[in-house]
Amino acid sequence: MLVSWSALVAILVSVSAAWLEPEAQQEVVSFQRRVLASLGMRRLPDMRQVNTTQDELQRMTRKYLRNVRRSEQELLTYHHTDCERDSYVEFHPEVEYDSRILWARLRFPNSSTSDVSDVLRRWRRDGRELLLTLPCIRCCGAKLEILVRESTTGARSKRSACGRECCRRPLRIRFKDIGWDWIVQPAEFEAFYCKGRCRDATDDFASTHALMQSILNFKGRKVSRPCCAPRKLRPLDLLHYNDKQPPELVVTRQKGMIVKECACT
């Protein structure tokens, strides 16, 4: 089973302050080794040997910030295939409420484009219509392209009205809670986690297989109920020391750090 990096860190955070039996301590060490191995490290950096100069710290911090800006950008593409209407096109964009729209444009089959950034921003700000309708003549095959910037380490996300349903929920991780002073940036980040029921046909299932599994469970078959789990994850850039002697500052883009979407699977 695939386990996200942030899930392993969350486990370490939850048990870091607890008194553990020897067997449990071995499990914690095992989790820690998996996290370090994913960063190409065999052991924790010996911070007593660090001799990084101020110039080197500033240089690596600039590199880290450049990587963060690039990784926070995502190009979303939506296709229009309904060619019966000849005067407008409709799309159903899914843009996170805490994402910033950098630009939006219609791209036509002949590769020409039309800027619709202001229209899309007003549509999201109003929040009244499910579909985005754009006037367009002979636009069969047009695509809506949206470049967004998502925040990974900013303010806490608002708690959505999930209720008991499978949903993405806030989870703030602070590296100092594990005693990991070797991670310089970010000091903390919003990892999110998935929680909720997976039973009703109205729940969000990742596949038809998961839906059928839920139906069989509901009918009393000896089949486990689908679990609420991440469907889509995104990476996070880290500025940290490696395990060389003396430790050196490096920038690593770590996969599977932030939950983007949850589903019953």
Looking at every residue in the chain, the average pLDDT score rounds to: 81
10 or 177, which is more confident?
177
Q: How far is CA 168 from CA 9, 69, 171, in A?
A: 17, 24, 9
Residues of the chain with CATH 2.10.90.10: 162-264
d(CA 175, CA 188): 6
- The secondary structure of 151-169 as a DSSP string is -SSSSPPPPP--TTBSEEE
Binned at pLDDT 50, 70 and 90, residue 10 comes out as: low
Order of strands, sheet of 113-115, starting from the edge strand that comes earlier in the sequence: 73-79, 143-149, 100-107, 113-115
d(CA 70, CA 163): 34
- Return the pLDDT at 74: 84
Selection from 124, 46, 66 nearest residue 92 by Cα: 124
Mean of the pLDDT values across residues 237-242?
95
- Return the pLDDT at 83: 72
Q: Is residue 13 helix, strand or coil?
A: helix
How long, in residues, is the chain?
A: 265
At 191-234, the pLDDT tens digits run 898 988 886 655 667 777 777 777 777 767 777 778 888 988 88
Q: How far is CA 20 from CA 17, 28, 36, 189, 231, in A?
A: 9, 9, 21, 26, 32
Q: In CATH, what number does 162-264 get? A: 2.10.90.10
d(CA 245, CA 243): 7
Selection from 237, 227, 239, 258 nearest residue 4 by Cα: 258
- In this structure, which amino acid lies at residue 94? E
At 78-105, the pLDDT tens digits run 987 677 767 788 888 888 766 789 999 9
At 14-32, the pLDDT tens digits run 655 455 566 666 766 777 7
DSSP state of 226: P
d(CA 232, CA 16): 27
DSSP state of 197: B
Q: What angle do CA 102, 106, 110 make, to 5 degrees?
A: 135
- Confirm whether pTM is higher than 0.75: no
Residue 33: pLDDT over 50: yes
Work out whether strand 88-91 and strand 132-135 pair parallel, antiparallel, or are unpaired. Answer: antiparallel
Residue 158: pLDDT over 80: no
Binned at pLDDT 50, 70 and 90, residue 1 comes out as: very low
